[in-house]
Each structure stands twice: as structure tokens, then as C-alpha cells.
Amino acid sequence: MKSYFLAAAILFQLTCALQSKLTRRNFAITTATSLVSLVPESSSSLTPPLSPTVQSKMSSKLLSPRPAIVAVIGYTGGVGGCLLSAMDRIGLKPFALVRSSTMQIDGSDDMPVDFTELGKRLLAAASKEGGTPIIADVTASSIPQEHYKDWLSQGISVCTANKGIFAGPESKYQELLTATKPPTRLLYETTVGAGLPVLGTISSLRESSHKILKIEGILSGTLAFVLGAVSGGKMTFSDAVLKAKDLGYTEPDPRLDLGGIDVARKAVILARLSGLTGIELTGLDVESLVPKPLQDCSVDEFMAGLSAYDNDFAARVASIEKNPGNRLHYAAKVDVVNKKITVAPMAVDASHPFNSAGPDNLVAITTDFYSPRPLVVQGAGAGGDVTATGVLADILECTRSM
């Protein structure tokens, strides 16, 4: 009986793990009635089937999420505050709160930040409570990322909106993947498209035998707004940038948005997840919308001098739009087949998915099965709440790992 029970339990775990991997999130198994059918028929005459009570207890033990023991790094920031609110809405209390110089652990008073000690305390609490130790990093700092590898190797899952290390040197990125051993997870869905299910979709497609051929993305809400405003001659380029700045859509220095580097970082993340290797941010040819003579001046001088380039930009837009329905969008294109990445203003014809994006982020994924019509993921690609709830979804995914 003992050997039958053990074999059945192992087969059940394997079946659940396979089904969960294929269907990804929002998947649940409610019964274990198929357990007996997994055992060879010849053995059923030797050992009686498991009772419904035993089956129910096994299913509950194997499938119930483990408690999340979460340390939130960056809780005082915009996304951090939204994450704490989201966690509160589902009754998930953070175990530790960390900011730039101090941290609180399990309700303690502020103490100096010590990421090594944080990891030890997380592991101890998870062991005591039978939970899953998780770091949630919602900063833009490189300092917490220096500890990702150690945390992962110790069995602490990492959920992050911090894209730096994932778009940085490929060797560092590969070290993280090597350090991540199941059931530990490294989830960074919100580094591209905030809460949109972009990275998870790409991973699921590859795992289910799709060959990724091409990924195209409008990945900056700021640049989508600016190029949407100049389309059809509605506004000049300088006026569109000024309006975006006044509305708070840009960084205090709009050149940080117009330069395209943030889009390039996201393109690197998409390329690596698609299976490309040898991709480095420093090797990309990124076309900036900032005129060269204005790259190094003050912000005030940049804003004052931008109007001198309005006519040239308007002519560029008009040359594209002379064909009905054609539009100019600032986008990233990952050509997996030819191992080429483009980050620049792109002209597309009337039928292209980009033309329905509006102010949203939009990612079009072309595979050997989704071709010629790509699979499209579209929605708000920025904002504290959508980013925070995306991180929270990753946290919950960690607790479901088996």
C-alpha cells in the first residue's frame, strides 16, 4: 500500500506540473479522481483504490498555494505604494519593508539596510511557516539587483519591475538564469509593458513549440502620444513634446524619453526571451528623436530650440502619410530570423496593428503558427497600479510553484 501511495503521489505531481506549465496562470485542478487510472491495471487487483477522503487530502496538500513571505524593496515609491495597497486588498501582509537606507523586518523598528540579513530572515520565516520566500523589487536601482544571484541560489524567488539587469550585460543575465533552480522563480513580467502579459505570453508560446519569428512593439506611451499628436499635421513636433511634458507624460528632461533608450532596453529583454543570444544594449543602433545640436544643452535651451526642427519633422511625417492610412510610430522590432533589432521611428501601412494602438502599448508577436496575422497584446503600458498588480501576479505565481 505504501509503495502504491508513493507512486500515485509522484505521478499526480508530474501530471499537475505538466498541466500547470501548459496552461500557465489561472489554472486550477479541483479533483484527484484520475489518480487510480495512472496506475497499471494489473496492480489494481493487488491494492485497493484510494478513498475519496485520501484523494481530497492529497490534492489539497499538493495544489494549495504556500503562504507568501514577501519583502518589498522600494515601498515608499509610487509603484511600491500601489503594491502595498494591492497586497492589502487581497489580505497579503508584507514580511519586510525596505527603502534606500533602512528596513523593517516582521514589524521591527527601522534598521540599516542589510540585504544579506534580509535574505537570512526571509528564509528562516519561510521555513518556520512553510511559506515561499519572495523578494519584490519595485525600484529602479542597481543595488538590489547585485544581490539577485545570491538570493536565487539560496532559494528566494525574485519578482521585479526593475529592468536594468535584464537589459544589461548578457553574462549577468545568464548568471541569474543559471542560479534559478525550481521551485525558485525569477519573474520580471512588468519590465516590458507594465502589467500586460507580454513576457509570459512569449514564454508560453516557445514552451508550446511555437517558433518566434518577429516581435514588434510600441513600448513607450510618451512617444506614442507625441507621434500621435503630430500625425495628420494636428500639432508641431515641439508643441507635442511641450504638451506631453506639461501633462506629466515625460521625464523632467524629455530627452530621456525622446532618445529611445528605454525602448531599446525593452527590446533587449524581448530579444533574449525570444531565444536570441549575443544581444547587448551597447551594440544596438537606436535612432533618437533629439536633434544632435540639442543633446547636450540645458532642458530650457532644449525646449526653446526644438521648434527649429518642426518643419523637417513635419515633412518626414507628411511623406509617409501621403499614402492613405500610413503612419509613423516609434517602435522596436526584434527580427529573430535575421537576428536584427531595430529601435527607431517606423513607417507602417494602414493594415498594421500599430495603427490601432492609440496611446497604449502594443506588442505584435509573429510565430510560425501566428502568421501572417500576429498575436497582439495591447493595453496600458505604464502606471503605478497596473505595474504593481503585475508584480503581485508574479508574487502569487511563485506561491503556486511545486
CATH for 230: 3.30.360.10
Q: What local confidence, expressed as pLDDT, does residue 65 receive? A: 78
Q: Based on the domain organization, do 348 and 286 belong to the same domain? A: yes
* Residues 204-209: contacts with CB under 8 Å, at least 24 apart: 204/24, 205/365, 205/367, 205/370, 205/375, 206/274, 206/275, 207/21, 207/22, 208/22
Last residue of a domain, one of 63, 86, 101: 63
Q: Clarify whether residues 366 and 245 are in a common domain.
A: yes
Specify whether 299 is located in the same domain as 391.
no
Tell me if 171 is assigned to some domain.
yes
Last residue in a domain, options 36, 63, 90? 63
Print the domain residue range for 337: 206-379
Q: Which residues are catalytic?
A: 266
For the purposes of burial, counting CB atoms within 10 Å of the CB of 382, is it exposed (0-12), middle (13-18) or buried (19 or more)?
middle
- Encode pLDDT of 2-34 as tens digits: 443 444 444 444 444 444 443 333 322 222 322
Is the domain of 284 the same as that of 366? Answer: yes
Q: Is the domain of 215 the same as that of 345?
A: yes
- Residues contacting residue 360 through CB under 8 Å, at least 6 positions apart: 218, 221, 224, 378, 379, 380, 381
In 3-state terms the chain splits into helix, strand, coil percentages (rounded to 5) of: 50, 15, 35
The CATH number that applies at residue 157 is 3.40.50.720
What are the cell numbers at 145? 539587483
In a domain, 95, yes or no: yes
Same-domain pairing of 55 and 74: no
Same domain, 231 and 323: yes
Residue numbers of the chain with a pLDDT score lower than 50: 1-48, 52-62
Which residue among 63, 84, 109 closes a domain? 63
Q: How many domains does the chain fold into?
A: 3
Same domain, 343 and 216: yes
Do residue 14 and residue 110 come from a single domain?
no
Residue owning grid cell 498541466: 19
| 201 located within any domain | no
Position 378 scores a pLDDT of 96
Are 98 and 35 members of one domain?
no
71: cell is 519583502
Q: Are residues 226 and 344 in the same domain?
A: yes
Is residue 56 included in any domain, yes or no? yes
pLDDT of 58 = 44
Taking the CA atoms of 75, 160, 195 and 397 in sequence, report the sign of the dihedral they define. negative
Single pTM value for the model: 0.83
The predicted pLDDT at position 18 comes to 41
Q: Clarify whether residues 56 and 89 are in a common domain.
A: no
